């Protein structure tokens, strides 16, 4: 009898021990699984489609946008420009003055601040590289993960050296909950002055792309990149362009 009484408590201890070991293993598995999911979530890539649509506007001259560059850049970096400083000399000037992204695309090939980049050159439905006139759109696709930022630059063609794009640090492609952004992002765009050529009245200047005798003409400014502030009147960006982003799940 005593022997049986001894065995029963011992069995109870073993069952309790096995149960606790199982619970511990389950907790460990769940914790590891949760960590793996979180890690995968942080490193998961999402594909986005970005559309730049020329709305035209109501100004006296037709709004025209140029082929440009797009960049997926790392957090707290500014591979395209830095406000208050001179153009890096890597090709932004060629976009801002002549709508030519080729040099900047080449310059960013080995930039450690850039995850990926490329050029948008052909309007949707077009047969080859061309400006985007009212009603036209450029589209491009990027792949990014949480912590990545979008940047791009397209020339405001009726100018000497102005371009449209986000801030130098770019636009976060994911929110604080790590969800990809979606919808109209025009509100985050600015009209930037590259500071490389003296500005003339928009839409009429003889050294602006539609009227100049050739690329890279006009008076050198030797200024800095900044938001345009030259005393001339410019349309609101929301009246001339709409920029949207769509996650491609």
Domain-wise residue ranges, the chain: 1-43, 47-247
pLDDT in tens, 95-106: 999 999 999 999
Q: How high is the pLDDT of residue 40? A: 44
Interatomic CA distance for residues 137 and 117, integer angstroms: 19
pLDDT in tens, 36-46: 344 345 568 99
Q: Note the Cα 86 to chain centre separation in Å.
A: 22
Q: How high is the pLDDT of residue 42? A: 57
Q: What per-residue string of b and e applies to 193-214 under the rule 16 or more CB within 10 Å gives b?
A: bbbbbbbbebbebebbbeebee
Reply yes or no on whether the pLDDT at 107 is more than 90.
yes
> pTM score, two decimals?
0.83
Across 134-149, average pLDDT: 98
| Secondary structure (DSSP) of 68-87 | EEEEEEETT--SS--TTS--
Sole residue written with tokens 């709305």: 55
Q: Domain 47-247: give its CATH superfamily.
A: F-spondin domain (2.60.40.2130)
Contact 188, 150 (CB under 8 A): no
The chain-wide mean pLDDT, for the chain, equals: 88
Q: How high is the pLDDT of residue 249? A: 77
Interatomic CA distance for residues 51 and 224, integer angstroms: 29
User: By CB neighbour count within 10 A (0-12 exposed, 13-18 middle, 19+ buried), where does 140 fall?
Assistant: middle
Reply yes or no on whether the pLDDT at 25 is more than 50.
no
Across 144-155, average pLDDT: 98
Across 70-74, average pLDDT: 98
Reply yes or no on whether the pLDDT at 16 is more than 90.
no
């Amino acid at each position: 009898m005593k022997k049986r009484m001894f065995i029963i408590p011992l069995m109870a201890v073993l069952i309790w021990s096995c149960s606790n070991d199982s619970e511990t293993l389950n907790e460990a598995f769940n914790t590891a699984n949760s960590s793996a999911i979180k890690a995968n979530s942080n490193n998961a890539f999402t594909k986005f489609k970005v559309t730049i649509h020329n709305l035209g506007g109501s100004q006296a001259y037709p709004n025209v946008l140029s082929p440009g560059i797009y960049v997926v850049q790392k957090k707290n970096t500014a591979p395209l420009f830095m406000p208050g400083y001179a153009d890096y000399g890597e090709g932004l000037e060629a976009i801002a003055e002549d709508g030519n992204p080729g040099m900047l695309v080449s310059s960013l090939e080995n930039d450690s601040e850039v995850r990926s980049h490329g050029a948008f050159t052909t309007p949707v439905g077009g047969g080859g590289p061309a400006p985007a006139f009212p009603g036209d759109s450029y589209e491009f696709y990027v792949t990014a993960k949480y912590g990545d930022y979008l940047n791009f630059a397209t020339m405001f063609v009726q100018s000497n050296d102005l371009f449209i794009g986000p801030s130098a640090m770019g636009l976060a492609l994911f929110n604080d909950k790590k969800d990809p952004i979606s919808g109209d992002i025009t509100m985050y765009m600015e009209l930037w002055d590259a500071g490389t050529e003296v500005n003339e009245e928009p839409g009429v200047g003889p050294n602006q792309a539609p009227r100049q005798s050739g690329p890279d003409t006009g008076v050198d400014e030797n200024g800095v990149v900044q938001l345009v502030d030259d005393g001339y009147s410019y349309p609101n960006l929301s009246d001339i362009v709409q920029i949207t982003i769509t996650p491609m799940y």
